């Protein structure tokens, strides 16, 4: 790696001094550790000043890197060890069967995102020239554009959102139908009660509001139970799994709102049916 590598890839030094200018020009046996490597090797200690062995070569730890967490494709970005490029060429690449002048990966950055396509084309043309690849021959290298990666991730996220939305919609419809059926049973069993309320002065709107309130309360209780189960499940995944979990109050509030709206929508038909009962006919029911 070169000095610009840290800035281009967004790495920051957590502890230690890192590499200086002379380290990049020589073949010093110094290494910087990612958070995962540091934790696995030294636990709670920083490890700075300790010696680790890469292959058969001992290296002194001169710094640690700020954690970056999981990458976009699920990889652990902190599971890394970094040495200056000349050090890697002279002391490590030979043991891997690679020529001393080999470079396995190059990272570039641009000032303007609109220039990504142009820069990618220029890099591909330069590499084809350096590798002596003739016209029509396949490349022996690959160039990845961050905009293409972002587009792929966006498309995947959109597809997952649509699938989750479809599942949530089906769940709401099934739950709403269940609420409607549950509310239809009280209408049948409480006909005399409804008739008595109307006989003493309650209007159709009063009966309708009563049954709508009951439907809303029923759906709200179910929604609250679902929210509690979801929060507990998310916290358990965050505690025992490797995925980071973040609870969003707005999302929880939106879930509660959808629960209430489902109760009101599917509870309207039973409420309307109850409000349209004839008081005299209702009081005759046994």
Q: Per-residue pLDDT tens, the chain, 286 aa: give them.
A: 677 777 777 788 888 877 877 777 777 888 888 888 888 888 888 888 889 988 788 888 888 888 887 766 667 788 888 888 777 777 777 655 566 666 777 777 777 777 778 888 888 888 888 888 888 888 888 887 777 777 777 788 889 888 988 888 888 888 888 888 877 777 777 777 777 777 777 788 888 888 888 888 888 888 888 888 888 888 888 777 766 777 888 888 888 888 888 888 888 888 888 877 777 676 666 5
Mapping DSSP to helix (H, G, I), strand (E, B) and coil, where does residue 106 land? Answer: coil
pLDDT at residue 283 in the model: 67
Look up the pTM and report it: 0.48
Q: Are residues 229 and 255 in the same domain?
A: yes
pLDDT at residue 282 in the model: 64
Q: Are residues 137 and 151 in the same domain?
A: no
pLDDT at residue 71 in the model: 67
Identify the domain containing residue 177 by its residue range.
Answer: 147-284
Q: Are residues 157 and 243 in the same domain?
A: yes
The helix (H) or strand (E) run that includes residue 105 is: none
pLDDT at residue 99 in the model: 64
Q: Are residues 275 and 155 in the same domain?
A: yes
Q: Are residues 17 and 122 in the same domain?
A: no
pLDDT at residue 183 in the model: 78
Q: Are residues 93 and 200 in the same domain?
A: no
Q: Are residues 156 and 261 in the same domain?
A: yes
pLDDT at residue 102 in the model: 67
Q: Are residues 13 and 90 in the same domain?
A: yes
Q: Are residues 165 and 97 in the same domain?
A: no
Place of tokens 């110094």: 30
Cα–Cα distance, 164 to 253 (Å, whole number):
18
pLDDT at residue 46 in the model: 83
Q: Are residues 160 and 231 in the same domain?
A: yes
Q: Are residues 250 and 280 in the same domain?
A: yes
Q: How far is CA 167 from CA 126, 159, 238, 252, in A?
A: 49, 12, 23, 17
Q: Are residues 117 and 70 in the same domain?
A: no
Q: Which of 143, 159, 191 is the last residue of a domain?
A: 143
Q: At what angle do helices 204-240 and 249-275 cross, to 10 degrees?
A: 150
pLDDT at residue 73 in the model: 61
Average pLDDT taken over every residue of the chain: 80
pLDDT at residue 230 in the model: 84
Query: Alpha helix (H) ranges present in 190-278?
Result: 191-199, 204-240, 249-275
Cα–Cα distance, 48 to 61 (Å, whole number):
5
What is the total count of domains within the chain? Answer: 3
């Amino acid at each position: 790696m070169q000095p610009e590598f840290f800035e281009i890839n967004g790495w920051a030094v957590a502890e230690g001094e890192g590499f200086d200018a002379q380290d990049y020009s020589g073949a010093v046996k110094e290494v910087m550790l990612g958070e995962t490597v540091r934790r696995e090797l030294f636990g709670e200690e920083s490890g700075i000043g300790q010696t680790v062995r890469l292959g058969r070569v001992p290296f002194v730890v001169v710094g640690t890197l700020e954690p970056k967490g999981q990458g976009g494709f699920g990889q652990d970005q902190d599971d890394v060890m970094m040495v200056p490029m000349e050090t890697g060429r002279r002391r490590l690449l030979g043991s891997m069967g690679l020529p001393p002048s080999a470079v396995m990966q190059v990272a570039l950055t641009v000032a303007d995102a609109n220039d990504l396509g142009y820069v990618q084309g220029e890099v591909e043309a330069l590499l084809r020239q350096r590798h002596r690849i003739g016209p029509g021959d396949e490349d022996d290298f690959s160039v990845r554009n961050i905009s293409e990666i972002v587009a792929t991730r966006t498309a995947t996220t959109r597809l997952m959102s649509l699938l989750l939305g479809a599942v949530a919609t089906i769940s709401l419809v099934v739950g709403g139908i269940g609420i409607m059926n549950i509310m239809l049973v009280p209408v049948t069993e409480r006909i005399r009660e409804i008739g008595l309320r109307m006989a003493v002065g309650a209007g159709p709107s009063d009966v309708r509001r009563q049954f709508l309130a009951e439907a809303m309360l029923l759906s709200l209780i179910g929604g609250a139970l679902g929210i509690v189960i979801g929060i507990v499940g998310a916290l358990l995944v965050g505690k025992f799994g490797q995925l980071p979990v973040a609870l969003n109050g707005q999302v929880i509030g939106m879930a509660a709102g959808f629960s209430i709206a489902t109760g009101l929508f599917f509870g309207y038909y039973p409420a309307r049916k109850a409000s349209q009962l004839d008081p005299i006919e209702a009081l005759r029911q046994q």
